[in-house]
Structure 1
Amino acid sequence: MAVGELFLAVFLAMLFNRLTSPELLQFASQEGVRSKLKKWEKKLKFIDALLMDAEEKQLTDRAVKMWLDELQDLAYDVEDILDEFATEALRRKVMSEHHASSSKERSFISACFTGLTTSAVKFTINMRSKIGDITSRLEELYSQRTELGLEKISGGTSTTAWNRPSSTSVQIEPAIFGRKEDKAKILQMVLSGGSSETNFCVIPIVGMGGIGKTTLAREVYNDDKLIEVFNPRAWTCVSDDFDVLRISKAILESMTSSSCSLQNLNEVQVQLKNKVTGKKFFLVLDDVWSRDYGLWETLKSPFMAGEPGSRIIVTTRSVDVALTMGQSEYYKLKLLSNDDCWGIFEKHVSGSAVVVSGQNLNSIRDKVVEKCRGLPLVARTLGGLLRSKQRYDEWEDILTSKLWDLPEENDILSVLRLSYHHLPSHLKRCFAYCAIFPKDYEFIDEELILLWMAEGLIQQSKNKHLEDLGREYFRDLLSRSIFQRSSINGSKYIMHDLVNDLA
């Protein structure tokens, strides 16, 4: 995907602000093109409403991809014209002020406007030609929406496209690779110091998408030592819709192993409170995205009746979510070693003719671990894709292809795109800009902040300096696992290869 497609919606929002600015509208009125610019704004807003649908369909529909590319080119051309308007308006203002300040004010003002006449006419003729071209292209793009089947997605998000499949507490694999130490540490946090604590303690597990947070939580949830200590237990996949009623019902159903038909939050939470009162419970909230502290306060209220020493594990990609729901500490999950990634891959292609034959096995291993870069999701997905391929050349094609060219049944792209999808609009454009960095490039925060400032990617604020806003942007992307601290130089940062690919 081109960078422009990712932040096109943000770019259009910037154009809307410029098209409605009083300075531009005043100058456009003098030039007699104000009505044209208002039509641009109206048409672009219609098109903007279709972008969510278009960005999803362009992955499988080349015609939609071409439509987005043309829209991106048009948006840049509109920005160029608005820049020319701003430059001409400033030129005229400067000339007027310069001549008006001289001792022969009247004669100079007269000469100024006489001198401006020729250049103004040339400017107007040139601009009207460009405006006519933009208008025609805009009308054509607008008319193509019907034949491309583009629609406005209600609510601004497509749940079918963006929600990951619900997770389960049932163990999928008999053993996991490379997480023995992590599991031991989490179990120690869960099982230690129960009687000295009040009610329950939240233990957040934080890491980028595909790193194995859910797998680790599942291993802890099913550990025999934990089962002996905690009753009841519950597992709930939260996902991006932090609906307190839905989540509360899911927890109650998990604890009771029976469906709940109640539709009133109070009734559900009363039953939940009765279920945990005086008991040491254990709860896993998997895949949490919301940082809304008020919603969390409401959700957790029934669990205040639990016995001291109760535990809640939260898995999330965001440090801010972890700090909202937990205390001051969280467990940061690290990438797996190359050996562990290879072990996962081997397990999922077990029995394949290519592996059994041992043909170029060292070369295959190098390519697999290079593609995984420590993410178990990639190792598992590649293993699943290749286990049905019986010829080495088929393996070669997949292992040398780009992530986005892998067969559609891989889920790496959808998992990574979730991280982008959940970024606020001002961060989407800043993230997409990071595509300028080559893979494995180490950078310092101030370096990137200055680049964002130079490109105008940081929104102006009356109360804060651009540098301070830039630091907030950077910290937010870091907390969402978009950036990581370099393992070589702790004062610098890096993007995981697959996150770099996404950009």
Structure 2
Amino acid sequence: MKEIRERLDEIAEERTQFHLNEVVPQSGAEVGEERQTGSIITQSHVYGRDEDKEIIVENLVNPVACCDDIFVYPIVGIGGLGKTTLAQMVYNDERVGMHFELRIWVCISEDFSVKKIIKAIIGSATGTACEDLELDPLQRRLQDILNRKRYLLVLDDVWSEDEEKWDRLKCVLACGSTGASIIVTTRSRKVASIMGTFPMHHLSGLSEDECLLLFKERAFGQEKEERPNLVAIGKEIVKKCRGVPLAVKSLGSLMRYKSQSNF
């Protein structure tokens, strides 16, 4: 018990040192909006994901990927590792753009409503808001859009482990041409095993050097001259982030807006 109390005291001290404050969301709607994602890469530079991107792109455009069933490629990793960013890199790769006739991006999150997802797919594919129709006309409209097309669909941030819902959606999607593919990003290995038709791609953490580069970008911005004392602190912070880019970016941004005297 004494050791546990001492460890909790250390964590509390680090929280104060790094100016980490608890924030309570005001409403569920705001949280949902924050978690929405799109296909456009919003980072100026992505560190340490070129090899992952190459592996996935090769599997998507390689003839081996052209099987009779829909090719479903799961990207799996803990929160904050950059699964969405990696999917965006693949989605925007020139080879992928040339290979697929149609590219579609849909953010799923926790609400795996088949009807809602179909509407979102239609909206992304056509660039216009979808009418609020019943399920059957929505299914038929989606199949008209996808029929005999080699499409790429990204289903980002999937949480639902309900296999029956996935089977219902998959049946509607199974109308494309040979090579039609789906990328699924998820934190859950079970989701990946339910949805995937190809071995899951496990996303690992960044190396310490890659994390430090990312931290410097966030902490120092366009400054050309590094401050050795802050870099030293940054190295210690990076070690505690355990290769998670989101943690590195968050703490780097915090340091950027604190004066040198605060450290």
Q: Report the TM-score when normalising by structure 2.
A: 0.84
Amino acid at match of 1:321: V
Contact 1:342–1:368 (Cα < 8 Å) also in 2: no
Contact 2:148–2:176 (Cα < 8 Å) also in 1: yes
Pairwise CA distance, 1:175: 2.8
Secondary structure, aligned partner of 1:308: coil
Identify which of 93, 98, 102 aligns with 1:223: 93
- For residues 166 and 280 of structure 1, the distance between their equivalents in structure 2, rounded to whole angstroms, comes to 26
Identify which of 340, 363, 379 aligns with 2:210: 340
1:384 is aligned to 253
Amino acid at match of 1:376: P
2:261 is aligned to 393
- For residues 222 and 260 of structure 2, the distance between their equivalents in structure 1, rounded to whole angstroms, comes to 10
- For residues 351 and 313 of structure 1, the distance between their equivalents in structure 2, rounded to whole angstroms, comes to 33
Contact 2:108–2:117 (Cα < 8 Å) also in 1: yes
- For residues 224 and 329 of structure 1, the distance between their equivalents in structure 2, rounded to whole angstroms, comes to 24
2:81 is aligned to 211
Contact 1:342–1:365 (Cα < 8 Å) also in 2: yes
- For residues 165 and 364 of structure 1, the distance between their equivalents in structure 2, rounded to whole angstroms, comes to 30
1:39-85 deviation digits (Å, cap 9, x = unpaired): xxxxxxxxxxxxxxxxxxxx569xxxxxxxxxxxxxxxxxxxxxxxx
Where structure 2 has 5 or more consecutive residues not aligned to the other structure, the ranges are 5-21
Pairwise CA distance, 1:388: 2.4
- For residues 153 and 193 of structure 2, the distance between their equivalents in structure 1, rounded to whole angstroms, comes to 18
Identify which of 250, 262, 272 aligns with 2:142: 272
The equivalences for 1:27-176 within 5 A come to 159-160=28-29, 163=32, 165-176=35-46
1:282-334 deviation digits (Å, cap 9, x = unpaired): 01000000011110011122221101111100000011000111126201011
Secondary structure, aligned partner of 2:35: coil
Pairwise CA distance, 1:384: 2.2
- For residues 325 and 60 of structure 1, the distance between their equivalents in structure 2, rounded to whole angstroms, comes to 34
Contact 2:74–2:198 (Cα < 8 Å) also in 1: no
Structure 1 residues 159 and 361, CA gap change in structure 2 (3 angstroms): closer
Indicate the RMSD between aligned Cα atoms, in angstroms: 2.2
- For residues 269 and 330 of structure 1, the distance between their equivalents in structure 2, rounded to whole angstroms, comes to 28
Where structure 1 has 5 or more consecutive residues not aligned to the other structure, the ranges are 4-58, 62-157, 397-503
- For residues 295 and 331 of structure 1, the distance between their equivalents in structure 2, rounded to whole angstroms, comes to 23
The equivalences for 1:299-448 within 5 A come to 299-327=169-197, 329-351=199-221, 356-389=225-258, 391-394=259-262, 396=263
- For residues 63 and 178 of structure 2, the distance between their equivalents in structure 1, rounded to whole angstroms, comes to 10
Structure 1 residues 392 and 215, CA gap change in structure 2 (3 angstroms): same
Contact 2:73–2:198 (Cα < 8 Å) also in 1: no
Amino acid at match of 1:343: L
The structure having more radius of gyration, on CA atoms, is 1
Pairwise CA distance, 1:358: 1.5
Amino acid at match of 1:258: T
Pairwise CA distance, 1:250: 0.7
- For residues 170 and 60 of structure 1, the distance between their equivalents in structure 2, rounded to whole angstroms, comes to 28
Pairwise CA distance, 1:161: 7.4
- For residues 181 and 332 of structure 1, the distance between their equivalents in structure 2, rounded to whole angstroms, comes to 13
2:17 is aligned to none
- For residues 66 and 243 of structure 2, the distance between their equivalents in structure 1, rounded to whole angstroms, comes to 38
Amino acid at match of 2:90: V
Pairwise CA distance, 1:356: 3.3
2:54 is aligned to 184
The equivalences for 1:461-476 within 5 A come to none
Identity of matched residues, %: 38
Amino acid at match of 2:50: K
Amino acid at match of 1:356: E
Amino acid at match of 1:295: K
- Between 1 and 2, higher relative CO (CA 8 Å, sep ≥ 6) is seen in 2
Q: Report the TM-score when normalising by structure 1.
A: 0.45
1:8 is aligned to none
- For residues 269 and 350 of structure 1, the distance between their equivalents in structure 2, rounded to whole angstroms, comes to 50
Contact 1:282–1:311 (Cα < 8 Å) also in 2: yes
Could you list the runs of 4 or more consecutive aligned residues of structure 1 that deviate by over 6 angstroms after TM superposition?
none
Amino acid at match of 1:374: G
Contact 2:114–2:165 (Cα < 8 Å) also in 1: yes
1:394-430 deviation digits (Å, cap 9, x = unpaired): 3x3xxxxxxxxxxxxxxxxxxxxxxxxxxxxxxxxxx
Secondary structure, aligned partner of 2:156: strand
- For residues 362 and 176 of structure 1, the distance between their equivalents in structure 2, rounded to whole angstroms, comes to 20
Contact 1:237–1:286 (Cα < 8 Å) also in 2: yes
Pairwise CA distance, 1:199: 4.3
Secondary structure, aligned partner of 1:235: strand
Pairs aligned (count):
240
1:106-157 deviation digits (Å, cap 9, x = unpaired): xxxxxxxxxxxxxxxxxxxxxxxxxxxxxxxxxxxxxxxxxxxxxxxxxxxx
Contact 2:72–2:198 (Cα < 8 Å) also in 1: no
Secondary structure, aligned partner of 1:302: helix
1:287 is aligned to 157
Pairwise CA distance, 1:189: 1.3
The structure richer in strand per residue is: 2
- For residues 301 and 202 of structure 1, the distance between their equivalents in structure 2, rounded to whole angstroms, comes to 13
